[in-house]
Amino acid sequence: MKLYDMAKVCRSKNAGPFQVTIDLMFDSEDKYRQVLASPAFCIEKIGQLYRTDPDKIAIKTFDRILTVKVVLPRMYSSGSPLDNDVYGSQQHFPLADLDIIA
Amino acid sequence: MKESLRYLSLCGLLGYGYAPESLKNALAQELDFIGVDAGSTDPGPYYLGSGKGFVKPLQVKRDLQLILPEIKRRRIPLIIGSAGGSGAAKHVDSVLEIIREIARENSMEFKTAVIYSDLSADFIRKAADGHLFSCGGAPEFDPASAGKLSNPVAQFGTGPIIEALKSGVEIIVAGRCCDTAVFASYPIWQGFPAGLALHAAKIAECGALCAIPVGANDSLLVELFHDHFTVEPPNPVRRCTPESVAAHSLYEQPDPNCFYEPEGKIDLSDCKFEALSESKVKVSGSRLIPADKETTKLEGAGLVGFRAVTIAGIRDPEAIRHLDEIESGVREAVLQSANFVSPQEYTLRFLRYGLDAVSALDGPPEVMPREVGLVIEAIAPRREQAEALIGLARSKALHQGFPGRKATAGNLAFPFSPSDFSGGEVYEFSLYHLTDIPLEFTPEIRMIK
């Protein structure tokens, strides 16, 4: 199942001009745990998808509200010449297309 | 010492609007102050660099028009943070001008504290010598760009606003400051715990964004006690729930369990969110871990060049299939004809909406789209160079040949005449760093009438 179909909220936004944060919120603890346990959901895979150094990616969890946050460096800083998403609000893909293997 | 204090966050951003009913309901209770944040780096570096606001003066005027007579009559101080969007002197002055206009129209006067946060090029040079530290993923600062920043500013915390509050002003117009400083200064001044005050401020600065339905364009009421705070939207169409308030801690933040302000780290890992009613949430457990060393964040944007664009649509399937050939043909033709700029000085970009303009990371789509929206962009050192480059690119793109072309009269459907647009100056954030050099910001008291 795709991450996009499992999450209740799947969004991205700038966290300052040099980083983007992707929020994945779930409506059941099962789905939340399933995503976190999936070997596909890791910084190496995300680094590959976003062509970025995995060491610069952080995955943070927020159990209380069943939310996972992924923080990524931006390829180009917000609004700079080669940027194509000033607010960073459409950067949840390609991650959202990730197949979660149970 | 007061047991509690109550304040209103007018809306998520000055100029975004709020329901008049929200203001009316909020004013039915006693308020210690009203705050509104006006700043954001989200719209990109252009606004700081150019000295312009991303919210238009008429929007700002509307939001202030409703409230200024009320704060006058009820003697409630109003705090505006990061005035004008980016908080540099030009932005601050534009907001002062709007206040003056409203004061004049209503025959009122306001004792106002103005706090500028602009930095001199000399200061940046001094800081660049070992006193600038990257933050939020920013690359190392290039000392060569120290003199090239437009409107560099420092983002101050609660200190200068507390200074201004002590002078008993009616309005505080703050330059670039932390969003939290707008709402935490008054409580900290009044002796409330800084951890709670800053956490409440972090939620309040977005207006009713923590409510359901979300609304950056509406107000939020906050009541602060010594061991907890409550939040509630004054507009009855919205409500706060423990989930909606807790979830807000995630918004635009790299870490949901803590955030950093000049005062220190605010630890949210022991926070509790409880429903007090259908629409009111109680928050407790937020703690401040004071910073070892005081640091201030600096922001500055450098001019990169000027932008011109053209916008067109493509329906012809052969043209869509041959977009790569069209693009390389255009690049070649522009290179051949643009004798007014050297190839190293300009960039030409093809954004193919419908295909891969938003994200090229996925690779090409399996099925070609029926239509593609094409934006061609040129960036060059001078405005007229960018405009001439886009003129060349547009005419070439319209007529560029490719194998199997059937629509030999033109590849592009332009929705507008003129088809080309000047995008103005292009900036990039080149200063987004912390400094450990102490900075002072002194409120200037003025009578605005």
* Interchain CB distance below 8 Å, B362 and A94: yes
Give pLDDT tens digits for A14-69: 999 999 999 999 999 999 999 999 999 999 999 999 999 999 999 999 887 899 99
For residue A15, is it within any domain? yes
Interface residues on B facing A, Cβ-Cβ cutoff 8 A: 41-46, 135-139, 243, 246-247, 250-257, 304-305, 347, 349, 351, 357-359, 361-362, 379, 426-429, 432
Query: Does position B288 have pLDDT exceeding 70, yes or no?
Result: yes
CA dist., res. A62 & res. A64, Å (int): 6
- Give the Cα-Cα-Cα angle B320, B324, B325 (nearest 5 degrees): 95
Query: Residue A9 has what pLDDT?
Result: 93
* Interchain CB distance below 8 Å, A21 and B426: no
Query: Does position B249 have pLDDT exceeding 80, yes or no?
Result: no
Give the dihedral sign, CA A36/A40/A43/A49. negative
Give the DSSP H/E element, type plus range, for residue B426. strand B420-435
What is the rounded average pLDDT of the residues B281-286?
Answer: 96
* Interchain CB distance below 8 Å, A18 and B139: yes
Counted domains in chain A: 1
Give the DSSP H/E element, type plus range, for residue A21. strand A19-25
Looking at every residue in chain B, the average pLDDT score rounds to 95
CA dist., res. B333 & res. B327, Å (int): 10
For residue A45, is it within any domain? yes
Query: Does position A102 have pLDDT exceeding 70, yes or no?
Result: no
CA dist., res. A15 & res. B14, Å (int): 21
Residue ranges per domain, chain B?
5-298+431-448, 316-412
Q: Which amino acid is at A25?
A: M
CA of B243: how far to CAs of A25, B120, B287, B405, in Å? Answer: 11, 44, 20, 57
Give the list of residues 6+ apart from residue B373 with CB closer than 8 angstroms, or none: B311, B312, B313, B314, B352, B353, B354, B357
For residue A102, is it within any domain? no
* Interchain CB distance below 8 Å, B138 and A69: no
More confident residue, B292 or B405: B405
Chain A to chain B Cβ contacts (< 8 Å): 116
ipTM score of complex: 0.92
CA dist., res. B85 & res. B56, Å (int): 10
Query: Residue A101 has what pLDDT?
Result: 76
* Interchain CB distance below 8 Å, A15 and B429: no
Helices (H) and strands (E) in chain B, counts: 12, 19
Looking at every residue in chain A, the average pLDDT score rounds to 94
CA dist., res. B8 & res. B32, Å (int): 9
CA dist., res. B265 & res. B254, Å (int): 13
CA of A13: how far to CAs of A21, A55, A87, B114, B207, in Å? Answer: 6, 20, 6, 32, 18
* Interchain CB distance below 8 Å, B254 and A15: yes
Task: Name which of B10, B5, B7 is nearest B209 in CA terms.
Answer: B10
Which of A65, A67, A77 shows the shortest C-beta gap to B429? A77
The range of the structural domain enclosing residue A35 comes to 3-96
pTM for the full predicted model = 0.93
Q: Which residue of A has its CA nearest to B303?
A: A80
Give pLDDT tens digits for B165-205: 999 999 999 999 999 999 999 999 999 999 999 999 999 99
Give the DSSP H/E element, type plus range, for residue B348. strand B347-353
CA of B33: how far to CAs of A101, B8, B164, in Å? Answer: 52, 7, 13
In B93-241, the DSSP E strands lie at 110-115, 132-134, 149-155, 171-174, 220-224, 229-232
Query: Residue B150 has what pLDDT?
Result: 95
